[in-house]
A and B are shown apart, each in its own frame.
Chain A
Amino acid sequence: MKNIYKYTLAVLALSFISCDPEFDSPVTEDEFYSSGSADFSKYVAVGNSLTAGYADGALYITGQKNSYPNIMAQQFAFAGGGEFNQPLMNDNLGGLLLNGNQIAENRFILAVDANGNPGPVRLEGNPTTDITNHLPSTYNNMGVPGAKSFHLLAPGYGNLAGVPIGAANPYFARFASSESATVIGDAVAQNPTFFSLWIGNNDILGYATSGGSGIDQTGNFDPSTYGSNDITDPNVFAMVYSQQVDALTQNGAKGVLINIPEVTSIPYFTTVPTNAIPLDAATAAQLNAQFAAYNTQILPGLAGMGVISPEEAALRMINFSAGQNFPIMTDDDLTDITAILQGPPFSLPAPLAALLGQLRQVKSDDLIVLTASSELGTTPDPSNPQGIIGVTIPLRDDLVLATTEQARVSAASTAYNATIQALASAKGLAFVDAKTILARLSNGGIPYDGGLLTSQFVTGGAFSLDGVHPTPRGYAYMANMMIYAINDTYDATIPTVHIGNYPTVTISNN
């Protein structure tokens, strides 16, 4: 009897124990994944907007949560990685305020217009992130949107007082440790055991997105004299970059360096076709007649006078035909002939001379920027239906990255990349060839478990609605590439992510 009570009790006791099923080797166990010779306990990410998780033309919370450093940190957590704090924005609108005045626009969303066509528009709403609300903590994600290589070493780059006059960065002002702090200084002060450094993109990107309207500063070693759209001198880049790597590795930290992709990999430069102007035969003939004098008299005449070279004369010829045509544009790399044309023997009226001053047609290997799509083919003066941009009004120079300008960008980025790769191998750091990786996106695409990731604007999945910054899926792909490089270099086994689990562009109407 006694025994039976005992057994009954035992059975009843068992019934209230809920035993969790245990795997033979759980992924949550410490030993499952290895950090190899790296130590992920304190990971600090340094860089620009790409590191911050900027997307859709703004920095906003869900974008930050899908930043490649945050994705990597979550995977590092399987192999001893620690907490990863980010200076999160206050909302998902993304705009910035300075004392209540908006100084940065809200994010883009993919909205459907009245005709049923989807396109990027700015999300409406009043942003709530005021940069005067200083964040007190330190942050593992030291990505500062807009930062160029030399900015990371610039004291006062996070000084709030410098923001209105363009001397400081509004994003860094939110969390810089002091008015005189540097980005690198604040990163190093956290004693990282592991770091990532992806910087230098903005050293060419401002020049490229502005259609080459800045100056190629190669040869000028004083970055304090640079404008925001200028190309950074490669020696300046090499100097500041190696200082940054030295600072980040001074305590023996391991890390990963990422190089600079080609601008031709991003939809901002590849979406608008160069021959975007459709014309019928009659219109083309009429336009050709208008430019006949320019082609047959002015250009040969100027070449004969030695004002322009025969090559430039050939480059400047305007010719339309039935079908798709290249728009006319102003190219500030051409000889400005406005003044000459107003004098004899041409004696053209000033407006016409100005029109022809630096005129040519876009060539197939020029790049028209994404923002030109809202201008090309429009009539800015409603009272003049003949004044069509690209046909009778030249496309502004800052909307076209000409081949000469592309060559400057390419030369600079090639030089930066040589520095980055050399430092990675000299220091034994992991290296990610983002240039080659992103080129794959525009060259056939990258297959994943839900299809093909490409650089096609809106539909390709890799790039957000600003045409420059990746989507969360694009960032997840970069995170995987970095994890591969880290595993390879440090003999680690960090797990990757399924990029199909990360979203692309945000669909919503205002």
Chain B
Amino acid sequence: MKKLFLLAVFALASAVTYAGGYRVSLQGNKSLAMGHTGVAVINSSELVFFNPAGLVYLDEKFNGTLGAFGVFSNIAYQDSQTGANARTDSPVGTPFYAYASYKATDWLAFGLGVYTPYGSSVEYEDDWAGSHLVNNIDLQAIYVQSTVSFKINDKLSFGGGPIYVTGSVNFNRNLNRTLTDLEGNRANVTIDATGVSSWGWVASTMFNPTDKLHIGATYRSQIILDADDGDATFENIPNSPLTPFQNTGISASLPLPAEMTVGMSYDFCENWTFAFDYNRTYWDVYESLDINFVNEDIPDSKNARNYKNSSIYRFGMQYDATKMFTLRAGYYFDESPVQAGYFAPETPRNDSNNFTAGLTVNIGEHLQIDASFLYSHFKEVDASYNYYFENGVAVPFSGTYKTNAFVPGLGLTYKL
């Protein structure tokens, strides 16, 4: 069995990808430990996120689970032509989740979930070589979702419900490569928008051809966060009519793209489960990050992104070792949505290989402790962002990037 598992992992490793953009796939400790599979895994109320249709197949009447992660991500940049180099000192990201499911009857279940599938927290040293593109960014989106699930029969169920999103963004960059005040301090702008909200929905189905084989599909709609009353704060602006940058309001749109997941899980050899998920994220909605300043004297900021739809391939294994311990491991390949020439340092994502592991400790009959760990490995990549313009002239920002991330997570599950 061990051999088979290793084979699955390494076969994939040769077929490289990396899941990117600002999607943060950390929606449950049990699932993450299995390569963040779960669309066809029936083991907890993490299904509220992964596949609400599966909630009707949970054994318990009530299942509640919550947890959080610490995201330690690092980006290194260098340009061998000039020797310029930088490392991010990003704050630790803390995505979290809380799900609860309640089986009202044998054929009807309700679910409630709060989770954070999108976000980004990147902090470069101020005035680094790419500071005209970004000094730091902090993007957060909290999803609140309620679902209802119907069992048609033991083989087929459906589920779905509305999603409410509230988000915030704080973004700072220098105005250009050279503008300073008289003391040489770089002119910069901070964009801040909080409490931006919107609605979306999720729909899913689960199909159980046999007792051991489960097949699932989940679609989560795209949600556009329209920030209409954000603020732009300008700093270190020279006192001159030639630089009319005064604090003003902004409007901007940030898309949280739709995601389609299909997958399966298979129980074998009594205590083992294998799971596979395929994600398709519809990133092509993210064409450009445009910031419109209310003050007409300030030219609007257009930042081409031109993301492409991307796929993630996820593999997970679960082994019920003892009554007390369940062990998990997984791997996924995450394909970057960033196209050549659009590699912007605020989300410098190339394809990544991701390795996960974790376990659940059963404490008594009702309580479980879930732990997981993710290591994201990105290949060193030479890339550039070619759509920054200075006086109408494109000024590419290029260099070599090397990224990684370590994500430990901890959670609790309570079932009744």
Contact = CB atoms under 8 A, between A and B. Distances in A.
Contacts of B179: 503, 507
B241 A112 contact: yes
Contacts of A110: 240, 242
B210 interface: no
Interface stretch (B224-232, B295-303, B401-409): B401-409
Contacts of A495: 80-83
A507 B82 contact: no
Nearest to A111: B240
Interface stretch (A26-34, A144-152, A398-406): A26-34
A72 to B, nearest CB: 12
A454 to B, nearest CB: 13
A27 B238 contact: no
Contact of B183 (A92, A501, A504): A92
Contacts of B183: 62, 92
A23 B400 contact: yes
A123 interface: yes
Interface in A478-510: 495-498, 500-504, 506-509
Contacts of B364: none
A450 B393 contact: yes
A135 B357 CA distance: 61
Contacts of B325: 4
Which of A8, A32, A498 is most buried by chain B, counting CB atoms within 10 A of its CB? A498
B182 A123 contact: yes
Given A11-B408, A18-B406, A27-B83, A509 B182 contact: no
B82 A26 contact: no
B59 interface: no
B178 A21 contact: no
B371 A508 contact: no
B43 interface: no
B386 to A, nearest CB: 11
A8 B76 contact: no
A473 B74 CA distance: 32
Contacts of B408: 11-12, 14-16
A165 interface: no
Contact of B87 (A20, A61, A78, A498): A20
Given A15-B70, A27-B83, A508-B239, A22 B390 contact: no
B390 A451 contact: yes
B245 to A, nearest CB: 12
Given A118-B242, A449-B396, A503 B80 contact: no
A498 B178 contact: no
A33 B81 CA distance: 10
A396 interface: no
A22 B402 contact: yes
Nearest to B87: A20
Interface string A467-478: 000000100000
B240 A507 contact: yes
A370 B312 CA distance: 65
A500 B397 CA distance: 11
A109 interface: yes
A282 interface: no
A474 to B, nearest CB: 13
B178 A503 contact: yes
A275 to B, nearest CB: 30
A426 interface: no
Contact of A23 (B72, B78, B82): B78
B180 interface: yes
A305 interface: no
Contact of B177 (A4, A17, A500, A508): A500
A293 interface: no
Given A27-B78, A33-B83, A15 B373 contact: yes
A120 to B, nearest CB: 13
A451 B391 contact: yes
B287 interface: no
B75 interface: yes
Interface of B: 70, 72, 74-76, 78-85, 87, 129, 177-184, 238-243, 321, 325, 357-359, 371, 373, 378, 380, 390-391, 393, 395-396, 400, 402-404, 406, 408
Top 5 nearest A-B pairs (CB, nearest first) are A15-B408, A62-B184, A503-B178, A21-B402, A495-B83
Interface of A: 4, 7-8, 11-12, 14-24, 26-28, 32-33, 61-62, 65, 75, 78, 92, 109-112, 116, 118, 123, 449-451, 473, 495-498, 500-504, 506-509
23 contacts: A4-B359, A8-B359, A11-B357, A12-B408, A15-B373, A21-B76, A21-B402, A23-B76, A24-B380, A28-B85, A75-B82, A92-B182, A449-B396, A450-B177, A451-B393, A501-B177, A502-B178, A503-B179, A507-B242, A508-B182, A508-B239, A508-B240, A509-B241
